[in-house]
Amino acid sequence: MVPNGERRSTRRLAKGERGIWQRRFWEHLILDEDNLQRHVDYIHFNPVKHGYVQRAADWRYSSLHREISRGLVGKDWAVEDGGGGRWGE
């Protein structure tokens, strides 16, 4: 159990919510390898989706760099006509 003590807003206190969980979180059971890969791809693409970078590989904090260094995908992964691999193959 995580001990109480984190800062909580009035709204969270009123709802009895803890401050350790992200709101709008949803649980999902990974069904198979393909489903896992789709979720990983979704996470890798989020910085592009939200306009932080032009290419997923430009997000310096991404675990996508491990896949690029292993040769699993190219630097142009998820770039339209970039030929970088998996996304929308």
Identified catalytic residue from 33, 61, 83, 89: 61
Whole-number Å distance between alpha carbons of 13 and 81: 49
Name the DSSP letter for residue 26. Answer: -
Whole-number Å distance between alpha carbons of 15 and 79: 42
Is residue 61 annotated as part of the catalytic site, yes or no? yes
Taking the alpha carbons at both ends of the chain, their separation in whole angstroms is 43
Going 11 to 16 to 20 to 26, the CA torsion angle's sign is negative
Active site residues: 61
